[in-house]
Amino acid sequence: MKIKIFNSTIVDDKTRQKLSEKMLAKGKVDEDIETRVNQFIANKKVIDIKTAAAGNDFDNRLVITVLYEE
């Protein structure tokens, strides 16, 4: 049994769009946390997924923990 942790800063839609445009301008693929998690679990036997959000006025974080077997 293994654990993989993904985290990301929670931003509003306007900010998300601006970040995406900047990444594409640099020739990089902008992958949000949902895409990263989905790609990771595609070929895994997932036991459990936990989601938590935490933060304060300056920094809001989303943490997704995936418990899986290889």
Name the burial class of residue 39, with classes exposed (0-12), middle (13-18) and buried (19+) by CB atoms within 10 angstroms of its CB. Answer: exposed
Give pTM, 2 decimals: 0.69
pLDDT at 5 over 80: yes
- Determine the pLDDT at residue 40: 92
- Determine the pLDDT at residue 58: 61
Give the contacts of 5 (CB within 8 A, at least 6 positions apart).
63, 64, 65, 66
pLDDT single digits (tens) 20-53 = 788 778 877 667 788 889 999 999 999 999 999 8
Identify the sign of the CA torsion 67, 31, 11, 34. negative
Query: Which residue range forms the structural domain that includes residue 65?
Result: 2-69
Average pLDDT of the segment spanning 56-68:
82
Q: What angle do CA 28, 30, 34 make, to 5 degrees?
A: 150
Give the total number of structural domains in the chain. 1
